[in-house]
Chain A
Amino acid sequence: MSKPLVYTITFVVCILFQAGISPAISVAGCAPDFLLIPVMLVAMRSGAGAGGIAGFFCGLLYDLMGANVIGGMALSMTIMAMIVGLLASNLNSTSIATVVVFAVVASLFVELVYGIIVMLTAIDAGGAAAVLVFHSIPTALYSAVFAIIGLLTIGLVLADDAPSMPAQLGGGMNRNKMPRMKSRLK
């Protein structure tokens, strides 16, 4: 399956999940953030630049679907995608464990930065520390679970294109297709 198609499907599915499924499966006010999946996917596969763009627009969408300050999630997701993109581009090989660590740390980072931004823009930040601990961290871990499942699933789908590398998760695409992809990107 081609990368643009995978990206498109991932974005559409995750946006629909964020709008519909996420509120329905919230536990004690903690709803998973499905938009983390496409942002991390783009950041890990296409680098900091493309990841930052994906992070900004997905974060903006999250802000517009919620009731908090607009730009808060856009900022935190852009920073996260940039960092993930930079780290991923410097890793020669990414194991499942690395994907798991990336998902958990990125999710925690996004939730905590977003929490701090919301806290700073509030009229009264009373009780914010408790919300950071009892809302942001559980939400981050909840989101990380779905991010891990999503990223590994997408990795397997992408790996189908690379029969010579069956264990590779999204290692990319068939090496024969690389030159064509490069020319298309140019």
Chain B
Amino acid sequence: MPGLSFSNQNQSRRPGLWWIPIVLIVLSIVLITLCVRADGGGAFAAARNAVQTVSKPIEHLCSGLSTPFKGVASIGTDDEKEQLQKENEQLRTLVSELEEYRQQNQRLLTLTQLADTYALTTVSATVVDTTSGWDRTATINKGSNDGIAVGMGVMSSCGLYGQVESVTSTTATVRLINDAHSSVSAMVQGSRARGIVKGAYDGTMTMEYVPVGSTVAEGDMVISSGEGGTYPHGILVGTVRNVEVDSSKLYYRISVEPIFNLQSCEEVLVLTGNEDSTATVIDQTLLDQIIANSRTSSSDTASAGAGSSSSSNAQSAGTPSTSDTTASAQASSQDGSSSAATGTSTAADTSSSGKSGSAGSSSSTAGAAASGGSNE
């Protein structure tokens, strides 16, 4: 291999610049300290928003340009075979699209019911990108032009989703609740034991500061407590997976399992305001539906090619109504465990959605949820 001289000897010996990296290293440490102390807000948020206002459109443009190349199919040799394959592909695409519409319809219906139940002022948005690794964030297609601001809570059809981290005019970055930098004030639904749910790098969530002696059992629902004002009271956060006493022996360390895959969420509601802070009663049937919805959506994804049920459901996708919801819910119940109960509860929810609609069909658990009262 021939000798190469990538480095430039003459310029590297310039003595005037050696101290600059040292100053910059110190400056970086100061920046990190200030950023952590300011919790990423203030001037840091403004600078980040300014940069992302320029960088996000470029990202979207490149994402849009690369999308067609991701689904390039192989080309056959025989004409008839090729034609049949092409037709088959088209039909598969159609079935997939119809199934997509059906699922989207179901999710949007649940979202609408949630917004009605909590009497929230919301802005619906679509998740266009998610990141994992050191930061678990999602980019949504709505920004400050739509009234979204930093710090607003975000929920999905299946429960709590995250908090707006930064905003540009047309997009916003949402930090997911299972991000290591996230924390949510929460409570165990059955015992009303309060604590803080924190995320971690591996995507798990832990509920801390729940006093030892509180009644917490595996499978209990964890809901937002409403403290702090970012999220309304009673939104589902996850379920209790494991309970152990922490090293101080004063508090439980509760492992919380998200009820759905946060990374695969597509439609969300940004909580831009709360019209009626007292209307924070969650309907148990709606809660059941959310859980069933999150479970069936994952199994539906696997069985997207179920032709007949998909096409029949898709016919009702365009006009959401009570009967449509029931039909789609019943159809989805064919897939798995949620059974016909999902269908009936959906119908009940649709007819009783609203601020007071939850009272009629609330079970004892729902009553417990309601006892949290007004938004703190």
Partners in one complex: yes
Interface residues of A (CB under 8 A from B): 16, 19-21, 23-25, 29-30, 44-53, 55-56, 59-61, 64-72, 74-75, 78-79, 81-82, 85, 88-89, 91-99, 114-115, 117-119, 121-128, 130-131, 135-136, 139, 151, 155, 167-172, 178, 182, 185
Taking A49-B17, A69-B40 as contacts, is the C-beta distance between A126 and B11 under 8 angstroms? no
Interface assignment of B9: CB less than 8 Å from any CB of chain A = yes
Would B202 and A171 count as touching, CB distance under 8 A? no
Most chain B beta-carbon contacts within 10 A, residue among A59, A67, A70, A185? A67
Interface assignment of B4: CB less than 8 Å from any CB of chain A = yes
CB distance from B200 to the nearest CB of A (A): 4
Which chain B residues lie closer than 8 Å to A168 at the CB level? 2, 4-5
A64 to B28, CA, bound (A): 13
Most chain A beta-carbon contacts within 10 A, residue among B6, B29, B66, B180? B6
Most chain A beta-carbon contacts within 10 A, residue among B4, B7, B27, B62? B7
CB distance from A20 to the nearest CB of B (A): 3
Would B9 and A70 count as touching, CB distance under 8 A? no
Would A24 and B180 count as touching, CB distance under 8 A? no
Write the chain B residue with the least CB distance to A28.
Answer: B132
How many chain B residues sit at the interface, stated as a range, is: 35 or more
A139 to B7, CA, bound (A): 26
Would B201 and A139 count as touching, CB distance under 8 A? no
A-B CB proximity, top 7 nearest? A49-B17, A127-B202, A52-B21, A89-B12, A71-B31, A47-B12, A20-B62
Which chain A residues lie closer than 8 Å to B52 at the CB level? 64-65
| B:1-38 near A, CB below 8 Å | 1-14, 16-18, 20-21, 24-25, 27-32, 35-36
**Interface SS majority for chain A:** helix
* Residue of A30, A50, A72, A85 touching B133 (CB-CB under 8 A): A30
* Residue of B13, B44, B181, B202 touching A126 (CB-CB under 8 A): B202
Taking A24-B62, A93-B4 as contacts, is the C-beta distance between A70 and B35 under 8 angstroms? yes
Taking A20-B58, A64-B48, A71-B29 as contacts, is the C-beta distance between A47 and B17 under 8 angstroms? yes
A178 to B90, CA, bound (A): 63
* Residue of A79, A93, A126 touching B3 (CB-CB under 8 A): A93
A151 to B6, CA, bound (A): 9
Which chain B residues lie closer than 8 Å to A96 at the CB level? 1, 4
Would B62 and A47 count as touching, CB distance under 8 A? no
Which chain B residues lie closer than 8 Å to A89 at the CB level? 7, 9, 12-13
CB distance from B154 to the nearest CB of A (A): 14
* Residue of A88, A135, A169 touching B134 (CB-CB under 8 A): A135
Would A67 and B131 count as touching, CB distance under 8 A? yes
Interface assignment of B246: CB less than 8 Å from any CB of chain A = no
* Residue of A19, A50, A123 touching B17 (CB-CB under 8 A): A50
Interface assignment of B203: CB less than 8 Å from any CB of chain A = yes
Would A130 and B18 count as touching, CB distance under 8 A? no
Would A47 and B48 count as touching, CB distance under 8 A? no
A-B contact pairs, 5 of them (CB 8 A): A47-B7, A49-B17, A67-B165, A125-B201, A171-B6
Write the chain A residue with the least CB distance to B61.
Answer: A20
Which chain A residues lie closer than 8 Å to B61 at the CB level? 20
Would A126 and B180 count as touching, CB distance under 8 A? yes
Write the chain A residue with the least CB distance to B137.
Answer: A67
15 more CB-based (< 8 A) A-B contacts, given A45-B11, A85-B12 = A50-B11, A50-B17, A53-B24, A67-B135, A67-B166, A89-B13, A92-B5, A94-B6, A95-B3, A96-B4, A123-B198, A125-B201, A167-B2, A168-B4, A171-B5
A97 to B133, CA, bound (A): 30
A169 to B8, CA, bound (A): 11
Which chain A residues lie closer than 8 Å to B204 at the CB level? 126-127
Would A23 and B62 count as touching, CB distance under 8 A? yes
Would A66 and B17 count as touching, CB distance under 8 A? no
CB distance from B360 to the nearest CB of A (A): 41
Interface assignment of B84: CB less than 8 Å from any CB of chain A = no
Interface assignment of B306: CB less than 8 Å from any CB of chain A = no
Taking A20-B61, A81-B21 as contacts, is the C-beta distance between A178 and B10 under 8 angstroms? yes
Would A70 and B48 count as touching, CB distance under 8 A? yes
Most chain B beta-carbon contacts within 10 A, residue among A60, A70, A82? A70
Would B40 and A70 count as touching, CB distance under 8 A? yes
CB distance from A49 to the nearest CB of B (A): 2
Interface assignment of B183: CB less than 8 Å from any CB of chain A = yes
CB distance from B320 to the nearest CB of A (A): 33
Which chain A residues lie closer than 8 Å to B55 at the CB level? 19, 65
CB distance from B242 to the nearest CB of A (A): 13
Which chain B residues lie closer than 8 Å to A135 at the CB level? 132-134
CB distance from A138 to the nearest CB of B (A): 10
Which chain B residues lie closer than 8 Å to A49 at the CB level? 14, 16-18, 20-21
| B:157-200 near A, CB below 8 Å | 165-166, 173, 175, 180-183, 198-200
Would A23 and B132 count as touching, CB distance under 8 A? no
